[in-house]
Copies of this chain bind each other. A is one copy, B any other.
Amino acid sequence: MSRLEYDGRMSLRHAALGLLTLGPASGYDLLQTFNGSLANVWPATQSQLYGELGKLAEAGLVTVTEEGARRRKEYALTDAGLAELKHWLIEVEPTAVRRSDMLLRVFFLGVVEPAQADEFLRKREAGAAEYHDSLRATEEAIAPETADLAVYGRIALEWGLRFTAMQREWAAWAQEELARTLKSQPSG
């Protein structure tokens, strides 16, 4: 029961706590969710998750409620764990800036030929469109059964839809902008 320090990061920890609000689960169970519905938002590897569950138990934020077959350990949220989750949800400011290696590449596109830069942007447009369609498919698959349930899941999904739409439109615009610039100043 050693103390754990929090400074606003360590979201995997809070993702695990959050999933445990839906009921007790094993590391393996949680992993399915991390590779499934949470994969787009906060992917996690097995090694990281098992390690984190150990630390969480040591800190008293979760407890082992059952030990089943195949060494299965079922974890449940404690009051302290729920309190920490709420604290993180409401009182800790979400990260404002997020690294984007895609955008970083855009900054340096002047290094390669305009044709290659254009191809880069076309790929982004296509990638965003494809991603958008896969989210749309997800939406249609889950919408019928959960009409008013899972409001927040739908709100998160909507973010994804809007984000991918924005990125597709931006990439299309950027191609036009690039063409315009090259036309007026061919040695760009």
Contact = CB atoms under 8 A, between A and B. Distances in A.
Interface residues of A, number: 66
A89 interface: yes
Given A101-B42, A112-B89, A127-B96, A170 B148 contact: no
B85 A108 contact: yes
A169 to B, nearest CB: 7
Interface string A39-60: 1111100000000000000000
Nearest to A41: B103
A2 interface: no
A151 to B, nearest CB: 5
A36 to B, nearest CB: 12
Nearest to A109: B152
A28 interface: no
Given A148-B188, A155-B178, A181-B148, A41 B11 contact: no
Given A21-B111, A89-B112, A103-B156, A170 B162 contact: yes
Contacts of A152: 106-110, 117
Contacts of A136: none
Contacts of A108: 14, 18, 21, 85, 89, 152
Given A14-B108, A18-B107, A110-B152, 16 more contacts: A11-B99, A11-B104, A18-B111, A43-B99, A89-B105, A89-B116, A90-B120, A94-B100, A94-B105, A98-B98, A103-B159, A148-B184, A151-B178, A154-B177, A162-B169, A166-B166
